[in-house]
Structure 1
Amino acid sequence: MARKLPYHLLDVFTDRRFCGNPLAVVEGADELTATEMQAIAREFNLSETVFLQSPQDPVNSARARIFTPQKELPFAGHPTIGAAALLAETRAGDILARSDVVIVLEEEIGALRCEALRGRNGVTYAQTALPAAPRKIGESPAREALAAALSLTPGEIGFGAHVPTIYSAGAPFLFVPLQSREALDRARRGPTFADAVGEAIGAFLYTHDTVDFANAIHARMYAHGLGIDEDPATGSAAAAFAGVAHEFERPDDGEHELFIEQGYAMGRPSRITLRMTVENGALAVVAIGGQVVRVGEGALRL
């Protein structure tokens, strides 16, 4: 007899259906093997699929395992935000209607405390703080090598104090600042892209030339080794970007909020909220958040 597992389809980092980053959330996944989860993720063929299992610590809400079509990840932003919003709606909808709901997800990088709230527009917003500040990893390739890898010229790379760098908040990204949105829209993978990205799971291209003046940066993320080409909203990269912003913008002590727009080139405009608290010149708290809309649900037959 076939097993049936419920799943939900969500759009994350948006308040509109068919925008943002699509996500599949599979519930009741305790008995699934890693091989089965990987096969299901390939079947959905989204940038990530999250599988919810019983928590190892019963005080927490769930254990979350995150798979791209090609590999498992220790942390990813839009699965975390999407799963937290979904659990708040399905397990505590009455409470969510009048106050915030706390969801704790066990992931490989640690237990993530997520807060969900219902916005004035009726859309659920969720955010999570990272267990540790982003860390810088190694050295990025030379500007000339990056230009060749992205089909650009060396002069189009870098602006202000920003230069290419590699940061990780659970998953490493190569951050490439570009002079303009026109250059970012024109960027393409060159034959040396894989060599330039190296061990990072993607190249996060960004510019201050935004579509919406209220946003701080406009970005694209070309994935590497994940089974997808481009991601419409990358929460783990946004979390790691806190390290980039702290290094090159030198924010004063206190709380800071910036918005990252992404996905426009894919026809899936997205908005990620990045919050940073700086104490004594160091990053003390980093949190990401965004809105989540439910698109559909069904059952897997296994």
Structure 2
Amino acid sequence: MSEYGYLTADVFTDQPFGGNPLAMFPEAKGLAAETMQRLAAEFNLSETVFVLPPGDPAHTARLRIFTPAVELPFAGHPTVGTALILAETGRLGAIDRRRDIVLEEGAGPVPVTIERDAAGRLKATLTSPVVPSRRPESFDAAQFAAAVGLDEAALEPGVPGAIFNVGVSFAILPVRPERLAAARLDLGLWRRHFADTPAQHFYLAALDDWALGRTARVRMFAPAMGVMEDPATGAAAAAFTGFLAAHQHPADGVARWILSQGAEIGRPSEIEISADIVGGTLKAARVGGTAVLMSRGSFDLPS
């Protein structure tokens, strides 16, 4: 038998029992992919991450990220969470004000900046390995709304939905703020109309001002990943950065937004996103937040 230790943290929150729980194995060398998937199913969290030696010695680590059902090429909450767990447990050495690291993922190298504020709290911000881009496929917005228990009157007029890709694709549907909390996934309709399409991951978003607003409430449903509703979704937040940049056309420089997610399922989360705009074009998307260490343990597994 071999012992493999793990830690858990609540990510995109500064309060225990908020945010999105994450399990992380800091020394996963020797684990087969099949075992990783089984461990992710055992935890049954949105994602479980396994830390391996990097392929490039200039990088910090290689990550393999699993939902209870599939392996992902990129995910934000495991990336931010892993960086903060490594920092909080001293695996990155002392961090006075700032540390820049690179984590290797299936979608490519992911730069992460870890910063310590005046109060001593650490925050991690990733740069998406893929610049968010709109996919050419469309979807039936009314059918999408019906699949989350809403009618066409719940849709935000004048703001059409779209599918954006960041290594993982998300179908983004703007809804009226007063209707967001009422959304409930209809698994039968999802299976019938969306399960085998690029629009299979649902991201609902509400802003009070779609032209200039800088705060949004969002929800994410991903049954294809084994996640009925996610408390905080970093990759989807990166995709939404692309959507917002395309819709709002911010001026050159850095545009910033704050997303609230998870309150409807009792896991309030806060995600910071930003877009680098150069010549009117989105050049980079960033996603950041904090985390709280919650537990440590180990598994005894067959060698």
TM range (shorter): over 0.9
Q: Measure how far apart 1:94 and its partner are.
A: 5.6
Q: State the alpha-carbon separation in 1 of the partners of residues 283 and 214 from structure 2.
A: 23
Corresponding residue of 1:107? 105
Amino acid across the alignment from 2:151 = T
Tell me which residue corresponds to 1:131: 129
Q: Deviation at 1:150?
A: 1.9
1:176 maps to a residue whose letter is: L
Q: Is the 8 A contact 1:171 1:201 kept in 2?
A: no
Does the 8 A contact of 1:128 with 1:289 survive in 2? yes
| Pairing 1:60–2:55 present | no
CA distance in 2, matches of 1:264, 1:250: 29
1:177 to 171, 174, 179: 174
Separation in 2 of the partners of 1:301 and 1:201? 36
Q: Helix, strand or coil for the counterpart of 1:55?
A: coil
Structure 2 unaligned runs (5+)?
none
CA deviation after TM superposition for structure 1 residue 164, in Å: 1.1
Q: Is the 8 A contact 2:276 2:284 kept in 1?
A: yes
For the Cα contact (< 8 Å) 2:97–2:117, is it kept in 1?
Answer: no
1:192 pairs with 2:212: no
Q: Distance in 1 between matches of 2:227 and 2:129?
A: 27
Give the superposition deviation at 1:118: 2.0
| 8 Å Cα contact 1:201/1:223 also seen in 2 | yes
* Cα shift at 1:201: 4.7
Structure-2 separation of matches of 1:142 and 1:101:
44
The farther-off stretch of 291-300 and 233-242 is 291-300
The aligned residue for residue 224 of structure 2 is 225
**Residues 145 and 196, structure 1, Cα contact 8 Å, conserved in 2:** no
Shift of 1:245: 0.4
Indicate the percent of aligned positions where both proteins have the same amino acid: 38
Matched letter for residue 260 of structure 1: L
Structure 1 counterpart SS, 2:204: strand
Task: Name the CA distance, whole Å, in 1 between partners of 2:249 and 2:294.
Answer: 40
Q: Give TM-score scaled by structure 2 length.
A: 0.92
Shift in Å, 1:196: 3.4
**Corresponding letter in the other structure for 2:245:** H
Q: Which residue in the other structure is 1:45 paired with?
A: 44
- Cα deviation for residue 209 of structure 1 reads 4.4
Q: CA deviation at 1:121?
A: 3.8
Range with greater deviation from structure 2 (230-239 or 192-201):
192-201
Contact 1:116 1:124 in 2 (8 A): yes
Displacement, 1:95? 2.4
Paired residue for 1:150, among 145, 148, 155? 148
Residues 283 and 215 from structure 1, CA distance in 2 versus in 1: closer, same or farther, beyond 3 angstroms? closer
The whole-number CA distance in structure 2 between the counterparts of 1:261 and 1:215 is 11
Q: Check whether the contact 1:87–1:103 (CA below 8 A) recurs between aligned residues.
A: no
Q: Return the letter of the residue paired with 1:163.
A: P
Q: Deviations over 1:61-86 (max 9, x none)?
A: 11100000000000000000011111
**Count of aligned pairs:** 295
Contact in 2 for aligned 1:215/1:261 (Cα 8 Å): no
Determine the C-alpha separation between the residues in 2 that align with 1:280 and 1:187: 38
Superposition TM-score, scaled by structure 1 size: 0.93
Q: Is the 8 A contact 1:15 1:291 kept in 2?
A: yes
| TM-superposed deviation, 1:266 | 0.9
- Letter in structure 2 aligned against 1:59: A
Provide the residue aligned with 2:283 in structure 1: 284
Q: Tell me the C-alpha RMSD between the 2 structures.
A: 1.8
| Structure-2 separation of matches of 1:142 and 1:131 | 29
Runs of 4+ in 1 over 6 A off after TM superposition: none
Q: Which residue of 2 aligns with 1:205?
A: 204
Q: Which runs of 5+ in 1 are unaligned?
A: none
